[in-house]
Amino acid sequence: MASPPRATAPAPHKPGYYTGLAHDDPALLPALPTTRSPAGAAHSAPPTAAGLATAGAPGPPGSQIAFADYLRLHRAVADKDAKYHPPEWRRQAALQEEKKRLHEQSVAMVAKWNNTIAGQRKARLAAQHEKARAAEEQRQQIDQDWAVVKAAERQAMVERAKKMQYLQDVRVRQLNSQALITQVLKERQAQIDYKKTEHDLAAQRALDTLLSDLARLAAADAAAAARAQQVKAMQVAIAQTNRNMSEAHRTAHAQERADLRDWCAEQASAALAEDRADKARATRRKAQQTKELVEVLNWCVKDKHARDAHAKDEAAELDRIHGHILRIKERIALQRRATEAAMIRARIERNEATAEQQVPQLVAFHAARTEFLQKIEHAHDGDGDRRARAEAEQRARNTAATVEALQLGIEERRQQQVLARLEAADGRKASEAVARAAAHSAERRKERMKRIQAVYGDLYRKEIDDHSRAERAERAAHHREHQDAADRKLREDRDLHQFASHLCRDLRVLGNDPAPVAKKLAEMDLDPRARGLHFGEREDDTFHRLGLD
């Protein structure tokens, strides 16, 4: 029987079809011819160097076939043999499965018996387990009760710590200081009232003493007049012989009265002089207090002027710092743009260097593939040499054209870089040079991105998108942080006003004047800098304090 003619149709490309290349397009390779052989030779004849025998169509031994088809036929024949002749290991596996099933049935039956040692042991272990479970539940309940007690203690400690922490705030301490000042003012007013009362009592005592002395003198005068009348009556009744004695007695008595009158006048003058001296001292003390008050007011005015001047200086310094920071930001932006341009140029140079390194590898790869195809595909075909040479020449021409295009692109890139350097050297601003270079290389960058996409896919674009999303998330988090800080400040101001109202009410209950506390609170509301840093605010965040975020 004559052999059928050799097949000329190309073999289909499927997994396992041997081409000799790992990462090449099968459509570009010439198809390998295949033939068919008798079915009996599928599992009896091993694959030869020229090809593998297949079943399904007659063919001479040594003809070519796909390796996947050979494996499929070999498995089919092996399964057919195993169906009629089961191996020993399958019988052993069936016996093991039956033994395992019987053992499981025996264990399930014995597990229901309670009058065996295993059943009694199981019941005893179950009772022990139930007892341990009840004890564990009791311990857990005790632990829960103790946890509630400790949580209440911790909450009380936390509330006390929060209260102490709140009382350490700058504005709260200032309000407490003003409350202490109200107590000082109350004590000072009490001292002034005490001094005034003491002075009034001393003047009243002096006046009472003077009136008592005058009343005593009037009584003495009345008694002396009565005695004089008695003496005069007695002297009239006595003989004229005692006239001289009576005259002498009257003269002595008159002198005594004159002395007594002079003494009373001196006492009255002394009392009046002491009263005038007390009034003069009070006047001088009041003048001294007025003078001290005027000096304190003058000092307050001077201090206010000094604080206003200091505030103006601070505002000017803040403006200067703000301008300096803006200039620094501009320089940083210029440096960043220059750095980005340098990174772009370095990436372009690196890609060009990589392309230059890959050109020899591509040439060597195509040469090796050409040689391999010549040996394998046309080993039994005499006229295949001409086709192989023609295909090799075509591939060589394509490779030369690709290399020439790459070299032209590299040369053009180098010329453009030289032109960009010459343009940047003419003294213009760095930002304008970067913008001009970016505009000049926009089209070339677009083409380069297309080539990069063919090699690296969307990794570069994905990296840029991830970076942009991270920046947006960071800005959103920063914005939320500042919004939370503003809400926290608003709550703190509300709590401060509530604390101040309670403090003023307590001061009124104690009888103190809450005016200093209200005045300090008004100053804090008008000048936010007077409150100082609230608890938890950063002192080193200059950008945040200056509003440059």
Q: What is the pLDDT along the chain (549 residues), one digit of tens a residue?
A: 444 444 444 444 444 333 444 444 444 444 444 444 444 443 444 444 334 333 444 444 445 567 777 777 767 766 665 555 556 778 888 889 999 989 888 888 877 787 888 778 888 899 999 999 999 999 999 999 999 999 999 999 999 888 888 888 888 888 888 888 888 888 888 899 999 989 899 888 888 888 888 888 888 888 888 888 877 777 677 767 766 666 777 788 788 888 887 888 888 788 788 888 888 888 888 888 888 888 888 888 888 888 888 888 888 888 888 788 888 888 888 888 888 888 888 888 877 777 777 777 777 777 777 777 766 665 555 555 667 677 777 777 777 777 676 777 677 777 677 666 666 555 555 566 666 666 776 777 777 767 666 655 566 667 777 777 888 888 888 888 878 888 888 888 888 888 888 888 888 888 888 888 888 888 877 765 555 444 444 444 554 455 444
- Going by C-alpha positions, the residue among 212, 218, 221 that lies closest to residue 256 is 221
| Confidence at residue 146, expressed as pLDDT on a 0 to 100 scale | 94
From residue 529, give the alpha-carbon distance in Å to each of 523, 541, 545: 10, 16, 11
- Tens-digit pLDDT profile for residues 359-390: 777 777 777 777 777 666 655 555 556 676 77
DSSP state of 47: P
pTM, two decimals, is 0.29
| Confidence at residue 513, expressed as pLDDT on a 0 to 100 scale | 81
DSSP state of 3: P
CB 506 within 8 A of CB 512: no
From residue 243, give the alpha-carbon distance in Å to each of 240, 251, 257: 5, 12, 21
- Tens-digit pLDDT profile for residues 422-471: 665 555 555 666 666 667 767 777 777 676 666 555 666 677 777 778 88
Give me the long-range contacts of 105-110 (CB less than 8 A, separation at least 24): none
- Going by C-alpha positions, the residue among 492, 491, 499 that lies closest to residue 533 is 492
- Alpha carbons 233 and 254: distance in angstroms, whole number: 17
- Going by C-alpha positions, the residue among 465, 468, 494, 485 that lies closest to residue 547 is 485
- In 403-448 the beta strands, taken as DSSP E runs, fall at none
- Maximum pairwise Cα distance, the chain: 216
- For the record, the structure tokens of 68 come out as 């996947």
| Confidence at residue 130, expressed as pLDDT on a 0 to 100 scale | 94
Name the residue with tokens 């599992």: 43
| Confidence at residue 121, expressed as pLDDT on a 0 to 100 scale | 87
* 3-state SS class at 514: coil
| Confidence at residue 340, expressed as pLDDT on a 0 to 100 scale | 83
| Confidence at residue 78, expressed as pLDDT on a 0 to 100 scale | 64
| Confidence at residue 137, expressed as pLDDT on a 0 to 100 scale | 94
| Confidence at residue 541, expressed as pLDDT on a 0 to 100 scale | 52
| Confidence at residue 167, expressed as pLDDT on a 0 to 100 scale | 82
From residue 377, give the alpha-carbon distance in Å to each of 382, 386, 535: 11, 13, 84
| Confidence at residue 147, expressed as pLDDT on a 0 to 100 scale | 93
Neighbours of 91 (CB within 10 A): 10
Q: What are phi and psi for residue 546, nearest 5 degrees?
A: -90, 0
CA 140 to chain centre: 39
Q: Residue 27: which residues within 8 A CB-CB, separation 6 or more? A: 13
- For the record, the structure tokens of 520 come out as 């300090």
From residue 342, give the alpha-carbon distance in Å to each of 166, 232, 347: 54, 140, 9
- Tens-digit pLDDT profile for residues 6-62: 444 444 444 433 344 444 444 444 444 444 444 444 344 444 433 433 344 444 444
| Confidence at residue 290, expressed as pLDDT on a 0 to 100 scale | 84
| Confidence at residue 49, expressed as pLDDT on a 0 to 100 scale | 38
| Confidence at residue 40, expressed as pLDDT on a 0 to 100 scale | 40
